[in-house]
Amino acid sequence: MNPRDPDALIARAGVRGDPDRDQHFLVDDRVLDRLPTYLEEIDADASHVLEIGGGTGALTDRLLSMGRDAGTDAGDGAAAETNGGHVTVVERDRELAAFLREEFAREIEADRLSVIEGDALSVDLPAFTASVSNLPYGVSSEIAFRLLPEGRPLVLMFQREFAERMVAGPGTSEYGRLSVSTQHYADVEIVESVPKEAFSPPPAVQSAVIRAVPREPDYEVDDEEFFLRFVKALFTQRRKTIRNAIRNTAHISGLSEPDAVVDAADADVLRKRADAMSPAAFAELAQLALEVGAPDRE
C-alpha cells in the first residue's frame, strides 16, 4: 500500500499547525519514510510501537506500514491488514485524536492501532516495545525522561541543539546534565538532521533525530534517584570546581554532610569541573556521597 500523503492528511483534518501550541507537522515524505528504518537497522522489537504526538497521522501510517509490508509478502492484501505489530498513539489535541480515530478506523477495528487522547506526561502508557516519535519540543525533555527509564529502543525527533547535548561527551561545551542523564540509560546517537522546511509550519530551529539503544551502565548506582539529583546539583555550578559545587549545592542534592564528601573524595576529582566528569566518574562520586554525606532519602 502507498503511504498516506502528509499534506492530504492535513487537508482532510482541516487543521493548520500552530507554533503557539507547539504544533509542527512533519510533511517531508523522505524523512517520514526513513524514521521507522532506524528501528529496523538494529532489529528492534516493533511488535508494539508507541508514538507520542500523532498529529494528523503521517508518521502513524508509516509505523503501521512496518507490519503491513510484512503481511503483504504472503500476497494477501486483506490478511495484511491484520498482520504485523500494534501501534499506540498518544495525542493531546482532542480534534486531532478524533481525526486519527476516523482516518484509521480500519486499523483500529483490526486491533492494529490504539489512540490515547491525553497528555503524554500524565496518561498511563502501554507496555510498548519501542517508540518512534516527533515530540512536541516544548516538553521534549520531560517526555524523553519518561521514556528512557523504560529501557526500550527509541527514535525521537528533537531540536538540533537539544539532540547535540544528549550525545555530547565530557570536555565539550554541549556536555551537561542532559548528556549524563541520557547516557546513563542508553547508547545515543544522532542519526539524521532535519531542516526546518520538513515541517508545516516550519519551526524556528533545525531538528535532529536521535536513536537510543538501552543498555546497562558500566558502573554501579545504588540509588538512581539520588545519582540523577546529584548530577543535576553539580551542573548548576558547572564553572565551579567539584569541591565547591558539592558544598554549594547541598540544598539541591539533599546532602546533610557535604564537607564529609569533600573530605573523603579524591583530590584530583575535587579539582575538576562538572563538564570534565564522565558518567562513570559521577557515579563513583555519587556513591561516595551516598555513603558519607547522609543524603535526604525523602
Q: pLDDT digit string (tens) for 173-188?
A: 999 999 999 999 999 9
**What is the spatial distance between Cα 252 and Cα 272, in angstroms, rounded to a whole number?**
20
Residue 79 has a CB neighbour count (10 Å cut-off) of 11
Nearest in space to 49 (alpha carbons), one of 153, 134, 193: 153
Radius of gyration for the chain, computed over Cα atoms and rounded to the nearest angstrom: 22
Give the model's pLDDT for residue 70: 42
**What is the spatial distance between Cα 103 and Cα 100, in angstroms, rounded to a whole number?**
5
Give the model's pLDDT for residue 136: 87
Amino acid at 290: L
Binding residues, as ranges, are: 24, 26, 53, 91, 119, 134
Q: CATH 3.30.420: does it fit domain 224-292?
A: no
Task: Please state the pTM of the whole predicted model.
Answer: 0.91
Report whether pLDDT(76) > 50.
no
Give the model's pLDDT for residue 137: 87
Return the H-helix or E-strand segment holding 191.
Answer: strand 186-194
Task: Outline which parts of the chain fall under CATH 1.10.8.
Answer: 224-292
Report whether pLDDT(20) > 80.
no
Selected residue with higher pLDDT from 71 and 196: 196
At 91-122, the pLDDT tens digits run: 999 999 999 999 999 999 999 999 999 999 99
Instruction: Note the residue count of the chain.
Output: 298
Fold of 6-214: Rossmann fold (3.40.50)
Q: At which residue does the C-alpha cell 539529583 appear? A: 229
**What is the spatial distance between Cα 60 and Cα 4, in angstroms, rounded to a whole number?**
10
Give the model's pLDDT for residue 80: 37
Complete DSSP assignment for 113-178: EEEEES-TTTSPPP--SEEEEE--GGGHHHHHHHHGGG---EEEEEEHHHHHHHH--TTSTT-SHH
At 223-266, the pLDDT tens digits run: 999 999 999 999 999 999 999 999 999 999 999 999 999 999 99
- Cα dihedral 157, 280, 149, 46, rounded to 10, equals 60
What mean pLDDT comes out for the span 164-174? 97
Task: Outline which parts of the chain fall under CATH 3.40.50.150.
Answer: 6-214
Give the model's pLDDT for residue 21: 74
Give the model's pLDDT for residue 79: 35
Name every residue whose Cβ is closer than 8 Å to that of residue 143 and which is 6 or more positions away in sequence: 52, 120, 121, 133, 135, 136
Give the model's pLDDT for residue 84: 62
Amino acid at 288: L
* Confidence bin at 66 (pLDDT 50/70/90): confident
What mean pLDDT comes out for the span 37-47? 96
Q: Inter-axis angle of helices 279-292 and 224-235, to 10 degrees?
A: 110
Q: Across the chain, what does the average pLDDT equal?
A: 92
Give the model's pLDDT for residue 298: 55
Q: At which residue does the C-alpha cell 540509560 appear? A: 185
Binding residues for S-adenosyl-L-methionine, as ranges, are: 24, 26, 53, 91, 119, 134
Q: Which three cell numbers stand for residue 71?
A: 503481511
- Say how far residue 153 (Cα) sits from the centre of its chain: 10
Give the model's pLDDT for residue 209: 98
Q: At which residue does the C-alpha cell 499547525 appear? A: 17
